[in-house]
Structure 1
Amino acid sequence: MSELLVGDLYRFQDLLSREEADTVARVRDFLAAEVIPIANDHWARAEFPFQLIKGYAGLGLAGKTYSNLCSGWLALEMAHADASMATFYGVHSGLAMGSIETCGSPEQQERWLPRMTTFDQIGAFALTEPTGGSDVAAGLHTTARRDGDHWVLNGEKRWIGNATFADLIVVWARDEQDNQVKGFVVGKDNPGYTATKIENKIALRIVQNADITLTGCVVPESDRLQNARTFKDTAKILRRTRSGVAWQAVGVMLAAYEIALEYAKQREQFGRPIGKFQLVQDLLVRMLGNVTGSLGMCVRLAQLQDAGEFRDEHSALAKAYTTTRMREVVGWARELLAGNGIVLDYDIGRFVADAEALYSYEGTREINSLIVGRAVTGLSAFV
């Protein structure tokens, strides 16, 4: 069994099988050796560490089936090291590969997934638009028009992770004929497709987000995801990846708590470590309470998924709750480090900034709250 994380007070990791725990330990060792040492430097320069792609491929995780508990814990570990690289992996293996696994035909799965599994082809997922985020289900403006055995796509996408270098981009567009949302796999060299890096971000700076423009972009019918017929099919993918973001939020919380705890033991004021002061201990305990409650929620969520009893409101509540608690924890950790909390040297500044992106993507707190509210009252408050 791998060593427990410092913040896993209730020993949730013990719920993993020995094989799963060994996989987690192998990933944790890779992240500690390869990702953590370079994260601050690449974050500061807003550059992606392409040299790490072979390492991620070597982990052999993409395309492999694990229990939802193990998959969640792996997402936690990746965010515990760096939220940007966790996002890179989640976009590729969760959103892009997940779209093809869920909505692609057997032939399409055989054509694309093997090379994505080995990271020889990198994927992206293009749903969000410049004028539509939370209302994307009804407000999707990118269009698809059938023209013989091809489709012509026109529109714009925004905040598309990996899109500056991805080989395959899953683009969601509204069919002009039946007004339904459909999915298309667009190659980076497709005529009419352009991706421009979004600059000046203050969060997830390693992630290469892009603005995408589709101008008369021609896609063959064979590259339309054959089982993506309405937005309900898109939602199946988002339901699964939304729970992954909840696990990522716990990973960020754990990292912030561990940084703050170690700092409290080492930093001295008034002739003693600040960890001996009651107010500091109280702050650490509040942080640990948030971590433990959020981790327990994610564990139960994974158990429901594994049991086949998983519903939209389960992942929506987990995403809304854990990211809110995460925001509190990284803020308290920054507070505990005082001025040292705003420089990258102590890592916490990176986690504070990146938490803001996790708080918003894969559904804002408000939207997820309405999903849960609809489930518990039986009444929809959506406009």
Structure 2
Amino acid sequence: MTFTSPVPTTAGTTTGTPTGPTTGPTTGPAVLDADFYGFQDLLTPREQEAVLAVREFMEREVRPLADDYWERAECPVHLFKPFAELGTVGAAWPECAPFESSAVFRGWIGMELARVDSSFCTFVGVSSGLAMSAIGLGGSPEQRAQWLPPMASGDVIGAFGLTEPLSGSDTAKGLRTTATRHGDTWTLHGAKRWIGNATFADVVVVWAKDTDDDQVKGFLVRKGTPGFTATKIERKQSLRIVQNADIVLDGVEVAEADRLQRIDRFRDVAQVLRVTRDGVSWQALGTMVGAYEAAVAYTRQREQFGHPIASYQLIQDKLATAYANVTASFAMCVRVAQLQDAGTQRDAHAAMAKSFVTTRMRETVALCREACGGNGITLDTGVARYFADAEAVYTFEGTRDMNNLIVGREITGHAAFV
């Protein structure tokens, strides 16, 4: 059976009568079933209008091609500019924000992307989240004015080069890429790994240690710079649409004007990671929502022993647990975003959300795949892609263990990092 994943159109279904359509929609529903407690009501009318526009774009433009691009491990780069034209890229920055928005809204947009395709969410988020946040938080006013508007419009795609082949969780002290200054020019040597968008990005934010003071600095490396090579990482089984790359920096020269002027040490980099860690929590939530919706739709249609399997207790138990995980994760994501808006968010707030939500995501996608039985391992049921992509989301922006150690430091006052 070829299965088209439908999307429920009303919120909080509590009766035994299915409310969703039996074929995939061409536009998104006004309200998500998965938003059981009605968190969308916290958004302003203008924000809700923008959310619906993104939801419709994802249903119309991304969902029909997501499985095929995922299977081929190719990225629909051509959709970045049409998506950017919706006006939600760069919404956090005054240089390019179409209207004043909340952190809840900005997180919600990431959830909407991941709800349809977590890979597309990562593709967009690397440029609009990691790269733009690095420039927005670490750049001078001139750098912000130069880069943020064209990135928000989709004319420039960014990448973010922090992780290295031998440095992941220990990046704060273990960074091996170096930067040496010669007058108004810096020379970069080193390597990076798992850098999304790097094979086609117009600009890559590269983090390197200054050989003079041993502090981390940020550099804007433009596409085509001599000495910079990016090679696509092959044979991935998660986030296959994302074009992760191994980068080699062999005597790459960068002008002082392209050094991020407000980044002087790793603590400055951590400000960027705190913001983007929130985004990963919303992405994990969206991955859960997508898997949950697909599982509900499939179990309503699939019949065994003369009845839809959704009518059986064991299936309902799995779906109810998934629903609770989604609802609890919504609550945590929303509250952490509110703390960000209030200026009271701490590292441990973001770390707890990332750890908790991604853990719940891992459980939820497994339950949803299980509810679909053997058909759950095929792309046709709509669950398998979320199940596979969850593994990468679970890992990046700090593993569960590392984020829990950040929370542990907050609790005890003692840093347990080696």
Could you tell me the TM-score, scaled by structure 1's length? 0.98
Equivalent residue number for residue 58 of structure 2? 31
Equivalent residue number for residue 203 of structure 1? 238
Q: What secondary structure is seen at the aligned counterpart in 1 of 2:204?
A: strand
Equivalent residue number for residue 63 of structure 1? 90
* Stretch deviating more after TM superposition (195-204 or 63-72): 63-72
Tell me the CA shift for residue 29 of structure 1. Answer: 0.4
Hey, what's the Cα distance between the residues in 2 that align with 1:276 and 1:8? 22
2:280 paired with 1:245 = yes
Q: How does 1:336-355 map to 2 (within 5 A)?
A: 336-355=371-390
Equivalent residue number for residue 18 of structure 2? none
Residue type matched to 2:246 in 1? D
2:312 paired with 1:277 = yes
* Stretch deviating more after TM superposition (275-284 or 175-184): 275-284
* Stretch deviating more after TM superposition (35-44 or 113-122): 113-122
Q: What secondary structure is seen at the aligned counterpart in 2 of 1:229?
A: coil
2:294 paired with 1:259 = yes
* Stretch deviating more after TM superposition (166-175 or 259-268): 259-268
Tell me the CA shift for residue 63 of structure 1. Answer: 2.1
Q: How does 1:283-298 map to 2 (within 5 A)?
A: 283-298=318-333
Residue type matched to 2:34 in 1? G
* Stretch deviating more after TM superposition (312-321 or 60-69): 60-69
- Structure 2: gaps of 5 or more residues: 1-9, 11-28, 93-100
Q: 1:43 aligns with which of 61, 67, 70?
A: 70
Q: How does 1:98-247 map to 2 (within 5 A)?
A: 98-247=133-282
Q: 2:80 aligns with which of 48, 53, 65?
A: 53
Tell me the CA shift for residue 22 of structure 1. Answer: 0.6
Hey, what's the Cα distance between the residues in 2 that align with 1:203 and 1:239? 24
Hey, what's the Cα distance between the residues in 2 that align with 1:75 and 1:300? 16
Identity of aligned residues (%): 57
Hey, what's the Cα distance between the residues in 1 that align with 2:77 and 2:345? 36
Deviations 1:31-88 (A, max 9, x none): 0000011000000000111221221121111222320010111110010010011001
Hey, what's the Cα distance between the residues in 2 that align with 1:359 and 1:57? 26
Hey, what's the Cα distance between the residues in 2 that align with 1:308 and 1:57? 27
Contact between 2:80 and 2:124, CA under 8 Å: does it hold in 1?
no
Deviations 1:359-382 (A, max 9, x none): 000000000000000001111111
* Stretch deviating more after TM superposition (110-119 or 187-196): 110-119
2:336 paired with 1:301 = yes
Hey, what's the Cα distance between the residues in 2 that align with 1:24 and 1:281? 30
Residue type matched to 2:278 in 1? S
Hey, what's the Cα distance between the residues in 2 that align with 1:167 and 1:272? 54
- Structure 1: gaps of 5 or more residues: none
Residue type matched to 2:30 in 1? E
Tell me the CA shift for residue 164 of structure 1. Answer: 0.3
Q: How does 1:77-92 map to 2 (within 5 A)?
A: 77-92=112-127
Could you tell me the TM-score, scaled by structure 2's length? 0.90
Q: 1:14 aligns with which of 14, 26, 41?
A: 41
Hey, what's the Cα distance between the residues in 2 that align with 1:239 and 1:159? 19
Deviations 1:68-124 (A, max 9, x none): 010111110010010011001111011101111101011111222221111111100
Equivalent residue number for residue 130 of structure 2? 95
* Stretch deviating more after TM superposition (71-80 or 110-119): 110-119
* Stretch deviating more after TM superposition (61-70 or 120-129): 61-70
Q: What secondary structure is seen at the aligned counterpart in 2 of 1:151?
A: strand
Contact between 2:369 and 2:376, CA under 8 Å: does it hold in 1?
yes
Residue type matched to 1:51 in 2? H
Hey, what's the Cα distance between the residues in 2 that align with 1:326 and 1:63? 26
Deviations 1:233-273 (A, max 9, x none): 11000000000100111111111111111112111111111
* Stretch deviating more after TM superposition (53-62 or 223-232): 53-62
Hey, what's the Cα distance between the residues in 2 that align with 1:226 and 1:362? 24
Residue type matched to 1:350 in 2? R
Residue type matched to 1:147 in 2? H
Residue type matched to 1:68 in 2? A
The structure whose residues are more often helix, as a share, is: 1
* Stretch deviating more after TM superposition (147-156 or 113-122): 113-122
Residue type matched to 1:49 in 2? P
Hey, what's the Cα distance between the residues in 2 that align with 1:324 and 1:57? 30
* Corresponding pairs, count: 383
Tell me the CA shift for residue 215 of structure 1. Answer: 0.5
Hey, what's the Cα distance between the residues in 1 that align with 2:179 and 2:386? 39
Deviations 1:198-230 (A, max 9, x none): 001001111111000000111111110010100
Deviations 1:275-316 (A, max 9, x none): 111111111111111001111111111111111110000000
